[in-house]
Amino acid sequence: MWDKPLREITLGQLLDEAVSNYPDNDFVVYVDRDFRLTYKEFSDLVDQVAKGLMALGVKKGEKVAVWATNVPYWVVLQFATAKIGAVLLTVNTYYKRDELAYLLKQSEAENIFLIDGFRDTDYVQTIYDLVPELKTQQRGFLSSREFPNLKRVFFLGQEKHRGMYTLPELMAMGKLISEAEYLARQKSLSPHDVVNMQYTSGTTGFPKGVMLTHYNIVNNGYWIGENQKLGPNDRICLPVPLFHCFGCVLGVLAACSHASALVILESFNPYLVMASIEAEKCTALYGVPTMFIAVLEHKSFSKFDFSSLRTGIMAGSPCPIKVMRQVMDKMYMKEITICYGLTEASPVMTQTRVNDPIEKRVETVGKPLPEIEVRLVDPDTGKPVPPGVQGEVCCRGYNVMKGYYNMPEATKEAIDNDGWLHSGDLGVMDEDGYLSITGRLKDMIIRGGENIYPREIEEFLYNMEGIQDVQVVGVPSKKYGEEVGAFIILKEGYDLTPEDVKDFCRGRIARYKIPKYIAFVKEYPMTASGKIQKYKLREMSAQLFPDA
């Protein structure tokens, strides 16, 4: 059925291939600091860093954590670690001290790279608080009481910090490793080795380290790019975090697979997104729905030229149909695609195609990627459900993670005996194989025995004048078990009351679906990767509506 079989190559081989075919193509570009590397220049830097890590004793299978925003050397580290068989451990930029401590311990990380900090968190001080031995012990001989596996700490910059290696020092060390030693290490690698570990956002329970192989993410990235029809002339504007699969697989690996350029932002800024698109004539833009909304609603939107845009990806959370249509019309992204998946699936299992009918591209999350099976099962019986019937979304194929690091029981819960990964998401598949996500198993509101799906109410309320964004959750109720609650962000210049919202609903949706509780908010609690934390909204609702 597919004329292109799955590829048995490593990330390093993928990069080498792009360098061989398109050495002078731009690969990594930063508009705000005039930073630009061709594939060949990028690859040379990767080799320097990789050899430096080898010289310092980083072995195959060691974890190398990266706690940084989208700085230029982030992507270099993604490939440098892969080339020597180390495992890139991506760290959420929003993490605080206790969360970092948990990740370092649970992952048994041997190495960590960090920047000076992000927003209100001082990363350098945080690592000193956790590992005070850094200030007194000789570099290369770190022995931490709290983190016995930790051997090396690197600072991603020029400045010197006690106990840490600097980037220039690391790269200078590379001269100690011969080309023969470097090639021998690369030849010892298998595409089925773990190359990436990402900790799930932790919207429920403790974060789990998802182990992904070269085979998982090289192939996923390739097909994600194919479905956007990417090629060596494409330029992708990437404002999403690299520590998340959206950045490092949908972005970096889709681009590298097709010798496309990446125009990266260190962190999301709607003005800089628009400036980058115009300056670099980007053909694709990635983002979660809230990012696209921020661009569309920006007061300077009309001043920028978006006519170079063609495609891109909207993912991370459900996209309001109205927003999708605006992106296609006002931002020229007629071939924008929607991706759906989860980290455990490397991450994409379904995607819309650029030539899909507009209805499919705004109302579904597309069809399964090649070589991936997707089916829906009854959450209670585990048996497949027919088209048009809601069930839990499951997938099977090359993309399913190797498992959660040191969590065999959690792995068994996620992947059944037949190899099906259970997503925890609810969806409906139509006769043509297009999937629509209707909610999460835990998101479903049950009011007096009636099943209510938040997505349905959210899509309805997006059509009300003045509403910019809306999230619907279940509010605990003594009488009905749960009632419908809506958290609404208003557009600038609008002033609505809860009664206005209820009036809009009356006579148009079933009475039991009309939100009983309505709160107007400025923003939503979110994970750093742009996913709205509905469980936090449910917690807020208990405080906001104590009489429920």
Q: What is the pLDDT of residue 1?
A: 45
Q: What is the pLDDT of residue 3?
A: 64
Q: What is the pLDDT of residue 162?
A: 97
Q: What is the pLDDT of residue 83?
A: 98
Give the pLDDT mean for 160-178: 97
Q: What distance separates the 2 farthest-apart alpha carbons in the chain?
A: 75
Backbone φ and ψ for 386, nearest 5 degrees, come out as -75, 170
* Other beta carbons less than 10 A from residue 299's beta carbon: 9
Range with the lowest mean pLDDT among 53-67, 197-211, 289-303?
A: 197-211
Give the pLDDT mean for 327-342: 96
Q: What is the pLDDT of residue 251?
A: 98
Give the integer Cα–Cα distance in Å for 299 and 291: 14
Q: What is the pLDDT of residues 36-56, one digit of tens each?
A: 999 999 999 999 999 999 999
Q: What is the pLDDT of residue 451?
A: 74
Q: Give kind and range of the element (H or E) at residue 105.
A: helix 97-107
Domains of the chain: 11-17+36-199 (3.40.50.12780), 445-544 (3.30.300.30)
Q: What is the pLDDT of residue 508?
A: 84
**Residue of higher predicted confidence among 146 and 201:** 146
Average pLDDT of the residues of the chain: 94
Stated pTM of the model: 0.88
Give the pLDDT mean for 447-469: 88
Q: Mean pLDDT highest for which of 30-34, 250-254, 421-425, 541-545?
A: 250-254
Q: What is the pLDDT of residues 459-506, one digit of tens each?
A: 899 999 999 999 999 998 888 888 999 999 999 999 999 999 999 998
Split at pLDDT 50, 70, 90, the class of 265 is very high
Q: What is the pLDDT of residue 203?
A: 39
Split at pLDDT 50, 70, 90, the class of 200 is confident
Structure token digits, residue 160: 């010197």
Q: What is the pLDDT of residue 205?
A: 54
pLDDT at position 181 over 60: yes
Q: What is the pLDDT of residues 212-225, one digit of tens each?
A: 999 999 999 999 99
Give the pLDDT mean for 330-344: 96
Give the integer Cα–Cα distance in Å for 405 and 537: 29
Give the pLDDT mean for 130-145: 96
* Other beta carbons less than 10 A from residue 289's beta carbon: 21
Give the integer Cα–Cα distance in Å for 443 and 452: 9
pLDDT at position 301 over 60: yes
Measured torsion, CA atoms of residues 162, 163, 167, 169, in degrees rounded to the nearest 10: 100
Closest Cα partner for 191 from 150, 220, 149? 220
Which strands sit side by side in the sheet containing 111-114, from one edge to the other? 165-166, 152-155, 111-114, 63-67, 87-90, 194-199, 209-213, 403-404
Split at pLDDT 50, 70, 90, the class of 94 is confident
Cβ atoms of 324 and 356 closer than 8 Å: no
Q: What is the pLDDT of residue 202?
A: 45
Rounded percentage of the chain residues whose pLDDT exceeds 90: 80
Give the integer Cα–Cα distance in Å for 464 and 444: 23
pLDDT at position 267 over 80: yes
**Residue of higher predicted confidence among 320 and 50:** 50
Cβ atoms of 147 and 162 closer than 8 Å: no
Beta bridge partners of 152: 111
Split at pLDDT 50, 70, 90, the class of 27 is very high
Give the pLDDT mean for 310-335: 91
pLDDT at position 137 over 80: yes
Q: What is the pLDDT of residue 2?
A: 53
Rounded percentage of the chain residues whose pLDDT exceeds 70: 98
Q: What is the pLDDT of residues 95-132, one digit of tens each?
A: 888 889 999 999 999 999 999 999 889 999 999 999 99
